[in-house]
Amino acid sequence: MNLDRSLSSLGVFVVYTVVWTREVRRVGFEREIEELVKHVKSRYTLESIKSDPVFRAYRDFFWRIGVDPTKIRPSSEALIRRCLRDFFPKIGVVVDAGNIASAFTGVPIGLYDMSTSSPPYTLTLSRGGEVFNPIGGRSEVLPGGVPILVDSGGVVMHLYPHRDCVETAIRDSTTEVFVLGAGVPGVEKARVAGAVRKVFEILSSAGWSWCGRVCVKEYSQ
């Protein structure tokens, strides 16, 4: 990893909001998923997706941070590939809403339970030695120079922009969620903001509320 680089040199930006509910409703998004699959099939093929400018931008960013996108694909691209094969994972209300929004827009979306994390959250570069506990994987000790999202208690919530931790993962009982859209060079801010808004639009049909706006944080030179 390049310890001399900075977030500004990587050209990243994030768009975020907060959504919440008083009562989690066990609803499905069958109509939204059906519309998503139709949209995906009308726009992409398994052969063409690699050359799409949005996914090309995320793949290029993966190479820059030392991740091989032919082995670990951007989450939004992986979702679209599943849609093209007539499969969409159904996990839970919040995660499903995030996945639908991500696949519609091509933007990786992070979702974090605010009851199990300590705001404020900070996007930074790892110093080396931090422990990351990924969903579905073993604990890792991070090298220096990895873009990460951490809470005020030092928990590594996210390896930007592709892996989340178990500590702040969404549960069936989650009622307050921090929604993060991952921006990289070559992807328009309006697209990332639209992805974050779409998460709320989908959740609103299940009775969720939100703060009424999305915020953009840039890390410019």
pLDDT at 3 over 50: no
Both structure tokens of 140:
């890792």
Mean pLDDT estimate for the chain? 94
**What string of H, E and C letters represents the secondary structure of the chain?**
CCCCCCHHHHCCEEEEEEEECCCCCCCCCHHHHHHHHHHHHHHCCCCCHHHCHHHHHHHHHHHHCCCCCCCCCCHHHHHHHHHHCCCCCCCCHHHHHHHHHHHHHCCCEEEEEHHHCCCCCEEEECCCCCEECECCCCCEECCCCCEEEECCCCCEEEECCCEEECCCCCCCCCCEEEEEEEECCCCCHHHHHHHHHHHHHHHHCCCCEECCCCEEEECCC
Confidence of residue 45 (pLDDT cuts 50, 70, 90): very high
pLDDT at 220 over 70: no
**Domains by residue range for the chain, with CATH:** 7-218 (3.50.40.10)
Burial profile 138-170: b = 16 or more Cβ within 10 angstroms, e = fewer: eeeebeebbbbbbbeeebbbbbbbbbbbebbbb
What is the mean predicted confidence (pLDDT) over 161-179?
96
Q: What are the pLDDT digits (tens) for 121-154?
A: 999 999 999 999 999 999 999 999 999 999 999 9
pLDDT score for 219: 86
pTM confidence score: 0.94
pLDDT at 4 over 70: no
pLDDT score for 2: 39
**Percent above pLDDT 90 for the chain:** 90
**Percent above pLDDT 70 for the chain:** 97
